[in-house]
Structure 1
Amino acid sequence: MKKTFTISALLAVFSLQAQFTVTIQAPADFKDQDAILYTLNGSKDIIFTKEQGKNNVWTFKYPKNYMGMMKVYFPGSNNTFNFISENKNVNVRLETQGNKVKDIIYLDEANEIMSKFQEGSQKKELILPALSQIKEYYKDNTDFGKALKAEINRLSGGSEGMDQSQHPFIYYYNTNYNRFLSNNPAKKPTQDEIINFIDKSNDMLETSSLLRPVLVSYLNTGGNTNVGTSVDKLLDRLKVETPRGQTVLSELIDIFDVYDMQEFKDKYLSLAKNLKCTITDRLASTLKSNANVEIGAAFPNYKFQTPVNTTAKSLYDVKADKKIIIFWSSTCSHCEEELPKLLAKYNDLKSKNIQVVGFSMDVDKDSYTKKIAAFPWVNDSELKGWNSSYVDTYNVHATPTYFILDANNKIINRPEHVADVLQYFSLK
């Protein structure tokens, strides 16, 4: 009898074929319970799901095809590690000490190969130039010369010998990294070649972590005086109405934010705001983060985690005529230079009913605690570094970042440096 399949049955078959699992093992003394699995879109980590460990094993079931970078984050201990998916099961064993991940053992073939490739890539960029110079002083027919030549040949190799059908993402990543981002590319790519790559590449571009550095390389290729022309040329090819065009537009807005290129950020943020087509989640996230911190916007409230120097439960509970918000870190050299200048004027600010609220991007609790002992203003931290919720909510790309709020928590100024803060209050 001939078998027939309904559409739902076919979909079920494809779902079963596409599904893979990510299994993480940790020692018995590792105390975290929760783990969060992320996928990647451009440079933005996307939360997929949270799982609780069972006997210190975390199992994530991914229900569809995915080839690209992934990440697992343990929020309790702030441990993070990255790996890849080639739409096959992923198995990782963690070695830990004092509830910190000390080593990552990749047990599946794809991640083991990728780990070796990345280790080799680091050696290629750091060691290969030196070995090439040393080689000039040794003859090829000596034992050392032969060994040196073999090592140079090994480090010079790329993905050429890899079976692309067996490891498509590794092949994609390494081939394009070597082509566009290596310190020693065989030939420096032109703008047109980079545009063609971004335009014609498959979906692994968004999941590979290559997109943002390739865009930075593209802008550098065009030169500082041609940024607008370069961006317009790229977006004209991609079309901002398309998903890739919107992802690239979002990445460019963030790049201009990071590099303090305000003119270009404003121009392309305005372009994004005025789009009449359906907006992708990626671009919508960028628009929301920027809208949250525009001059005149109500600074989003924040429920304090473990606040110091206040009994307030949230940012809005802190009452003052004005507030100075600082995003900082104890490991930030600019913060080390700037915050003492604010501290010197703190009593003057307090006399004017101006309160300072510091949100730390720290990870290490001891470092954070020692530093805030000298700061009499309101302090709080999630102790999650760049995994903190502040990053997306308040569009934070660097430390220190300052905001000045009025009594109603509306943003009235966005100073770049502590000197601008003090000048705003005539305390410089």
Structure 2
Amino acid sequence: MKKVYILSAVLTAFSLQAQFTVTVQASADFKDQDAILYTLNGSKDIIVTKEQSKNNTWTFKYPSNYMGMMKVYFPGSNNAVNFISENKNISVKLDIQNNKIKDVFYLDEANELMSKQQEGSQKKELILPALTQIKEYYKDNTEFGKALHAEIGRLTGTSSSVDAANHPFISYYNSNYSKFLSNSSDPAKKVNPDDIINFLDKSNDMLESSSLLQPLLMSYLNSGGNTNVGGSVDKLLDRLKVETPRGQTVLSELIDIFDTYQMDEFKNKYLGLAKDLKCTINDRLASTLKSNANVQIGAAFPNYKFQAPVNTNAKSLYDVKADKKIIIFWSSTCSHCESELPKLLEKYNDLKSKNIQVVALSLDVDKNSYSTKIAAFPWINDTELRGWKSTYVDTYNIHATPTYFILDANNKIINKPDHVGDVLEYFKLK
């Protein structure tokens, strides 16, 4: 019993030392009870803790210093609200309609300021060009002309400066977004690759939590064109030192980028580099290595426990018995799926006659859209209705839909077709 008391005391002390709290309020008609708090590492959401509602309020205690993007996700309804942390208490109120977030009210100073600045930036980028274009059609002495002139003047004006001492993350985010990622047509403001390398090398820890890292890497790769991608990446990694935490996180992000855009030559090259590292691997790169290892040819495809399966009594993927299985990751809103899956449907009876099972795991979020679509698909269907937040996205390293795997009777991966035509050709049905 003594050990239990000691552990209890430690947990109590841990909670009392929270650096700041995150409070999210919702109206009484919001049905969700569970909510998950996330921080950010590069482009990956990192789970911090899970809490249950108390009078439609969720209170999270964060135990350490954190400046960067955060998120609270409601898995029951696939709702999410994004905000920032500057290591101070955060307060958010949600306006709910039909169990979906209709509007978000930021009640703490930092998020209220960030929200206003983001809104102003979006209007400047999206609305100002249109207003400027139609201005010539209205005289300045008309009521609408005066209002148009005033709005153009307001949006053209420089954004209000942010005190970096009081709002370090907002200052960091705004200044670096403006410098590196804004769509400026001014040639003088064009950033060259060396500027990005210097920033990635010298930036503080807010880089990983800012959501800027992946867009910066995309900008860096695009700035060098397609002629020497490998040389550009090698130059960047040499500067950052791939054994360092920053270098490993950047390496992980690059592997994911190459995976997403099917640049297999570069993905395999830098995945090999990651595998050969002899140093301690950080969590970000370790997760990339694990998800890729899960889906290598010859690997045992990780089991998946079905949530609400259709057309089967099986409880999990491994419970489905067949000589071979075709696993499909798809979505009812995916245009490529729309064109490819009917071709598989045409050959479904031929597949069944060969004792080949089809298991489709959906990345849908809308139950009606999903249910309508699967009515035409007689194979095994299942979904978490969490879209790209579905658990199988990371487990099976999914970056696009549709994605196909072919398994043998022992759930070993024997083929990874790129398209439905490759699936049919593998089974000699094309």
TM range (shorter): over 0.9
**Deviations 1:235-266 (CA, angstroms, capped at 9, x unpaired):** 01100011010000000000000111000000
Please list every run of 5 or more consecutive structure 2 residues that lacks an aligned counterpart in the other structure. 1-11
After TM superposition, list the pairs within 5 Å mapping 1:20-419 onto structure 2: 20-134=20-134, 148=148, 150-157=150-157, 161-184=161-184, 186=186, 187-419=189-421
Contact 2:384–2:390 (Cα < 8 Å) also in 1: yes
TM-score, with structure 2 as normaliser: 0.92
- How many residues align? The count is 417
Partner secondary structure for residue 25 of structure 1: strand
Contact 2:364–2:385 (Cα < 8 Å) also in 1: yes
Distance 1:415 1:144, change over 3 A: same
Counterpart Cα distance in 1 of 2:14 and 2:135: 54
Counterpart Cα distance in 1 of 2:383 and 2:154: 46
Partner secondary structure for residue 227 of structure 2: helix
The one-letter amino acid of 2:374's match is I
Distance 1:119 1:427, change over 3 A: same
Counterpart Cα distance in 2 of 1:91 and 1:311: 45
Contact 2:39–2:45 (Cα < 8 Å) also in 1: yes
Counterpart Cα distance in 2 of 1:419 and 1:259: 20
The one-letter amino acid of 1:65's match is N
Counterpart Cα distance in 2 of 1:141 and 1:241: 64
Offset at residue 91 of structure 1 (A)? 0.6
**Deviations 1:259-315 (CA, angstroms, capped at 9, x unpaired):** 110000000000000000000000000000000000110000011111111111110
Counterpart Cα distance in 1 of 2:185 and 2:194: 16
Of 107-116 and 273-282, deviating more is 107-116
Contact 1:158–1:174 (Cα < 8 Å) also in 2: no
Contact 1:159–1:175 (Cα < 8 Å) also in 2: no
Partner secondary structure for residue 228 of structure 2: helix
Distance 1:30 1:160, change over 3 A: closer
The one-letter amino acid of 1:248's match is V
Offset at residue 170 of structure 1 (A)? 1.1
Counterpart Cα distance in 1 of 2:340 and 2:236: 38
TM-score, with structure 1 as normaliser: 0.93
Partner secondary structure for residue 80 of structure 1: strand
Contact 1:159–1:174 (Cα < 8 Å) also in 2: no
Please list every run of 5 or more consecutive structure 1 residues that lacks an aligned counterpart in the other structure. 1-11
Contact 2:15–2:61 (Cα < 8 Å) also in 1: no
Counterpart Cα distance in 2 of 1:17 and 1:304: 39
Distance 1:267 1:131, change over 3 A: same
**Deviations 1:301-357 (CA, angstroms, capped at 9, x unpaired):** 011111111111110111111100000011111111110000000001111111100
Distance 1:422 1:125, change over 3 A: same
Contact 2:293–2:299 (Cα < 8 Å) also in 1: yes
Counterpart Cα distance in 1 of 2:410 and 2:49: 36
Partner secondary structure for residue 368 of structure 1: helix
Counterpart Cα distance in 2 of 1:173 and 1:247: 19
